[in-house]
Amino acid sequence: MTASRWKLALALPVLLVPALAGCGGDDSAATANGFDAVSISGQVGSEPTIDWKGQMSASSTDTRTLVQGDGPALTKDDTAYIGLTVGNGYDRKVSFTSYKKGVGGQSVDLGDGKTLPVLTSALVGAKVGSRLAITANAQDVFGEAGNPDLKIGNQDPIVLVVDVLGPYAPTGSYPAAAKGTVPGVTQKDGTPTALVFGAKNPPKGLQVTVVSKGTGPKVTKDGGVEVDYLGQVYGASKPFDESFSKKPISQPVAGFVKGFTQALVGVPAGSRLLVSIPPSLGYGKDGNAQAKIKGTDTIVFAIDVLGAS
């Protein structure tokens, strides 16, 4: 079972991929250029307040760090987890924010060549916990089409506010050997490859073991999260799914099976968990045939919580 089978699709990716062709708006009535036309306030990790001082123009792309985080600096090999808000300086409205309930943040692979170049350029070298802002012409960000989905013409001036919400690298090691109903984790070059079980029978209810506790923002039930995970049926010899060898996934917290969601809420980013989920909080009596999970199976996860929004 791939991750996409059990997570919700996000609206965000359409914002992060350049468009191909199109037309634009009119900034002839602009009275101020770039950051002279706008002020941005609010805390990192929550929707920013964008106050327009007047009509906006954007003669060039300008990137500023509004809040300097104290986390690790992102590299081109990282998958960043970001909160994103887009404002249109032409109509002086917020066109999109990932902080609306049920949207969540977005994982951005800084090395895949598919992310908007303006975002990649801003994010590489930025520290986790930072808030960045970019003012630009829409064509320079989205391409010749602008972004019709957001009603942004290709000549509209725009502002992007980017919160760097992860990744917070977990500390502490997964246990190699099982202890009671808490599984051990086999690893290759530090990457989890399978779970090892000790007790013959799984725990009856939800069991959450905090292997190590992070220092980042806490996961909320109405927010989003970025995780790496490995899932395995209790007692099985190999996983039914994992992301550690691929890339992290991000989605609304409420989009997972109930036990996974319950285990995450309140946990700070940078934490490492082992979670056993009974059928009633997993796939229920019907199980998941594609993943070969029966209705009586307990499913167990090793989870790295990389970011929260």
pLDDT digits (tens, 9 = 90+) for 17-66: 555 444 444 444 447 899 999 999 999 988 999 999 988 999 899 999 99
Residue 144: phi, psi to the nearest 5?
A: -65, -20
What Cα–Cα distance (Å) separates residue 177 from each residue in 73, 189, 193, 264, 269? 33, 17, 14, 23, 25
Per-residue confidence (pLDDT) for residue 266, from 0 to 100: 97
Q: What dihedral do alpha carbons 253, 223, 65, 159 form, nearest 10°?
A: 110
Which amino acid, residue 177?
A: A
CATH topology of domain 3-165: Chitinase A; domain 3 (3.10.50)
User: What is the radius of gyration, based on Cα positions, of the chain?
Assistant: 21
184-308 to CATH, choices 3.10.50.40, 3.20.20.70, 3.40.50.2300, 3.30.2130.10 = 3.10.50.40
Structural domain spans, the chain: 3-165, 184-308
Tell me how far apart the alpha carbons of residues 216 and 205 are, in angstroms, rounded to a whole number: 28
Position 180 scores a pLDDT of 96
pLDDT of residue 18: 53
Domains 3-165 and 184-308 share a fold: yes
The pLDDT assigned to 16 comes to: 55
Residues in the chain predicted with pLDDT less than 50, given as ranges, are: 1-14, 20-30
Q: Give the helix ranges, DSSP H, for the chain.
A: 13-16, 117-123, 138-142, 258-264
